Amino acid sequence: MHIADGYLSPATVLVSYAIAVPLWIYGFKKLKEKLNEETLPVIGALAALSFIIMMFNVPVPGGTSGHAIGAALIAILFDPWIAFVSVSLVLLIQSVVFGDGGISAWAVNSLSMGFVASFVGYYVFKVLKDKTRFAPFIAGYVSIVTASLVVATVLGIQPIFWSENGHPLYFPFDLKITIPAMVGEHMLFFGIVEGIFTQLIYGFLTKKELKEVQ
């Protein structure tokens, strides 16, 4: 789901950074408030886990690929702002060190996989946590599918930028292709993976916490 350099128009890049920068500033303030001797190791471990699972890009038919994120898990365990900042930092490291995702697209990647996935996952969990024990699964599933919709939409509007000879300057496929390709694969496969991951890790950590209290 990482968008690479060269896929987005300068206008898209500028708008995405204009939106992301104030959110990052506020998110770092929230992170600073949450960090202490108890939370730092757990947040660090979950961010590292998010880094690992996002490195496993699985190719799917149609020429795209996908992966789990882990944003919903961090959001429901701590706070969606913490999840947003954590995933953003993971995406920055992946972009700079591994070339997985572009610097120009870092804001879009962070807004989709970090901000949108975190807040959607958090509020879905909040609504369902007292109604079903599968709330973590549903939160993870909906979070990544929604993030894929954002990515598909941003990519799908790039063909509006055309060159003088009638060829698209950036990403060439429109919404009729990007939405089925991106959202479809995440609904059918990666959403399920994200949901299972969120359910299992949430269950493990909360059971461990209960044992320690007892």
Q: CA 187 to CA 97: how far, in whole Å?
A: 30
Tell me if 118 sits within 8 A of 71, measured CB to CB.
yes
Rounded CA separation 206/108 (Å): 32
Place of tokens 């879905």: 124
Helix (H) or strand (E) holding 95: helix 80-98
- DSSP letters spanning 1-51: -PPPTTSS-HHHHHHHHHHHHHHHHHHHHHHHHH-STTHHHHHHHHHHHHH
Query: Per-residue pLDDT for the chain (214 aa), expressed as one digit of tens each?
Result: 689 899 999 999 999 999 999 999 999 999 988 887 777 888 888 888 887 777 666 666 555 666 779 899 999 999 999 999 999 999 999 899 888 889 999 999 999 999 999 999 999 999 999 999 999 999 999 999 999 999 999 999 999 887 667 778 889 899 999 999 889 989 988 899 999 999 999 998 887 654 454 4
CA distance 204 to 136: 12
Q: What is the pTM of this model?
A: 0.89
Q: What is the pLDDT of residue 15?
A: 97
Tokens of 25: 């500033």
Predicted pLDDT at 2: 82
Phi first, then psi: what are they for 92, rounded to 5°? -65, -45
pLDDT at 168 (0 to 100): 80
Long-range contacts of 39-47 (CB under 8 A, 24+ apart): 39/78, 42/77, 42/205, 43/74, 43/78, 43/82, 43/86, 46/70, 46/73, 46/74, 46/77, 46/86, 47/74, 47/86, 47/87, 47/89, 47/90
Contact (CB, 8 A) for 198 and 139: yes
Nearest to 50 by CA among 22, 27, 77: 77
Structure-block tokens of residue 1: 């789901």
Q: How far apart are CA 40 and CA 197, in angstroms?
A: 21
